[in-house]
Amino acid sequence: MSNNTTPTSLSFEEEHLSDRVVEISSPREKSPLTDVNSPILRSVRSSSSESLNRKHKLDEEEEVSLEGNTRMGGEKETFYKGSNAKRTRLDPVLRDNRQIAENSLNPRRTQKITKSKSKTSMFDPDTTKYIEEIVLGGYVIKTWHSSPYPDEYNRAERLYTCEHCMRYMKSGGVYGRHITTCHVSPPGIRIYEGMKGDQRIRIYEVDGAKGTEQKLYGQMLSLLGKNWLETKMICYDVEGFCFYVLVEVEEDNGKEIEHTMGFFSKEKFSYGNYNLACICVFPHFQKKGYGRLLIELSYELSKRERKVGSPEEPVSQMARHAYMSYWRKALLRTFCHASDKQISTFNVDELSQMTAIQVNDINAALRYMGLSKLCKKGTRNTVVITKDMIMNYVTKTGEKWERPELNVSLLVWEPRD
């Protein structure tokens, strides 16, 4: 008897993303981030949340009208990524192996999450992390923390986000149709374009109070970043913040395609002289120096404002490591460029004005470098540095400090009045 069984149609995830799930979720990259149930205080939904709901209602209406596109139940789901997407069929054994690999990397996925239907009050917020994965720019990325999406989206185990406009969707079919036509740049002003190694990058400034488009973009960007930030609290009240969005530029058949890599936010008016509120580099772009580049940008903005800045507390362990790396390199460049003498004396307060780094952060960096004990006796906040000390430190640690991450001559930005 011949077998007339029709092969099952594969979803986009099985055809295009199976090789990227394990890569993003490898234990080496995610080892310090296994605590996925971090507590956050979910605020009462404001009018901003309602505007996001109205915006995404169009996606849900479009989803109903699609023929053959369903999310569950084994029915067919059509998913496209670009007009020239190569469609390949995956062997069932490979699909089973992929599922086994995912379960071994994240044991929580082997246990079904019980979702309570009872509503929680603002005094007893629901902090359960329901969204397990984010599809972003062709990558399936595990989430590390919960994000206060609207309830109808927060209950989905997988959320699809456009890396260009930051709109989020529950359906792969809707997302597939959306990304074939959406190639917009972040709204706002382009303030930087340059090279980092062989990669061309751009930075945009998005003002959360300038128009509905920039406000919605800031809200959706904040919600996306919260999936990997434990301490970020503000996702909807973005009018008092500016967002500095880092993108890489890819050439595709003569067309430029931008891929969002990360961002940092900054309060417009900070009484604590904070030059950075939160910073996030998306997991598939980490360990490439982009975090230090964004940190360097935040201090360059402080220099142009003629202020001394510092990141807003609390700072995550990953961000603290990146900050310490920047502080060390900034001090090394200052020590070597400020004087040609064999022995130089620096006042910590003067160093703070030259680098825009707060005194406490400078002292922390000096202690880390083992140079705090070289402070001149009897002179307050003064450190004595010799060329030999710098060379010995660089030789011992292998610190690469000569070349900054940011070419400040290409930065087009002026402080606000």
Residues assigned a catalytic role: 312
Verify cis geometry, omega within 30 degrees of 0, for the bond prior to 92.
Answer: no
CB 225 within 8 A of CB 232: yes
Integer-rounded Cα Rg, in Å, for the chain is: 24
Per DSSP, the three-state class of 10 is coil
CA dist., res. 323 & res. 4, Å (int): 62
- Which residues 6+ apart lie within 8 Å of 286 measured at CB? 29
Torsion of CA 396, 397, 402, 406, to 10 degrees: 180
Long-range contacts, stretch 103-110, CB < 8 angstroms, 24+ apart: 105/22, 105/25, 105/26, 105/27, 105/30, 106/25, 106/132, 106/142, 108/36
Q: What is the b/e burial string over 170-208, where b = at least 16 CB atoms within 10 angstroms of the residue's CB? A: bbbbbbbbbbeeeeeebbbeebbbbebeeebbbbbbbbb
Coil vs helix vs strand at 266? strand
Q: Which tokens belong to 335? A: 């020590």
Q: How far is CA 124 from CA 127, 128, 235, 372, in A?
A: 9, 12, 19, 47
Q: How far apart are CA 291 and CA 395, in angstroms?
A: 24
Beta-bridged to residue 141, according to DSSP, are: 134
In whole angstroms, what is the distance from residue 369 CA to residue 226 CA?
A: 33
Tokens for 78, please give them. Answer: 């059509």
Strand order in the sheet with 189-196: 189-196, 199-207, 241-252, 255-267, 278-281
CB atoms within 10 A of CB 302: 23
Residues 217, 169: contact at Cβ < 8 Å? no
214, 234, 361, 407 from 294: Cα distances, Å:
20, 20, 17, 12
